[in-house]
Each structure stands twice: as structure tokens, then as C-alpha cells.
């Protein structure tokens, strides 16, 4: 009987929260929307551009690809089903990458 009572209490407590909540060191839950609003406020006060979490993902994937990482592996890491999605979304031409392409093209023209 004690186990059923305990499980019932746990269920009631956990029903209040979902995957959109974080629990920090003081064990008080914080909604992700609250974290987002705090981030905007702090960035604005500091005079910084507000960056979304997805922007970090985008930068990370673009940097990997443009620094020679295997695109197939990056695509799998990101959870994409098709490599085209990764290439179309994340393979921006940075100036160093563009310069290396130009150098290869020029060396081919010289031959």
C-alpha cells in the first residue's frame, strides 16, 4: 500500500512538468520560456545580438563542413535523413573555403 501511495504522489508531481522544464541546483523548475526571456533581457542589456539555440547548431554544422568534416557524418550527427538537407542548409561558403576553391580552379587552368 505504501508503494502505491508513493507512486501516486510521484505521478502527481511529475505531471506538472514536461520536457520544457529545467531543474537547477536549488531544485526549482524553470520553464524554457523563462530562460529564453532572461536570455533576451541579458543580451539586450549587454548590447548583444540575441542568438537562438538553433543558431549555435547552424554555426557548428557550417564550421564542421567548411573545415573539411565528412558531410555524410555531419548529416547523420544532425539527424537529417538526406544529405541534401545538410548541404543545402549548412554548407555556406566562408572566405577561406572560397579562396581554396579559387586556388584549385586556378591551378587546374594553369595545367
DSSP state string for the chain: -HHHHHHHHHHHHHHT--TTEEE-TT--EEEHHHHHHHHHHHHHHHTPPP--HHHHHHHHHHHHHHTT--HHHHHHHHT-SSHHHHHHHH----HHHHHHHHHHHHHHHH-
pLDDT digits (tens, 9 = 90+) for 9-36: 767 666 565 555 566 656 666 776 777 8
pLDDT cut 90: percent of the chain above it: 14
What band does 82 get if pLDDT is binned at 50, 70 and 90?
very high
Amino acid at each position: 500500500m505504501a508503494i502505491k501511495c508513493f507512486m501516486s504522489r510521484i505521478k502527481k508531481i511529475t505531471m506538472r512538468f514536461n520536457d520544457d522544464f529545467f531543474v537547477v541546483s536549488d531544485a526549482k523548475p524553470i520553464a524554457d520560456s523563462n530562460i529564453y526571456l532572461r536570455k533576451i533581457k541579458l543580451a539586450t542589456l549587454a548590447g548583444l545580438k540575441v542568438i537562438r539555440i538553433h543558431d549555435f547548431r547552424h554555426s557548428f554544422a557550417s564550421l564542421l563542413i567548411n573545415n573539411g568534416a565528412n558531410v555524410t557524418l555531419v548529416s547523420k550527427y544532425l539527424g537529417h535523413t538526406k544529405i541534401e538537407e545538410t548541404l543545402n542548409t549548412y554548407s555556406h561558403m566562408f572566405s577561406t573555403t572560397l579562396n581554396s576553391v579559387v586556388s584549385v580552379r586556378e591551378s587546374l587552368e594553369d595545367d
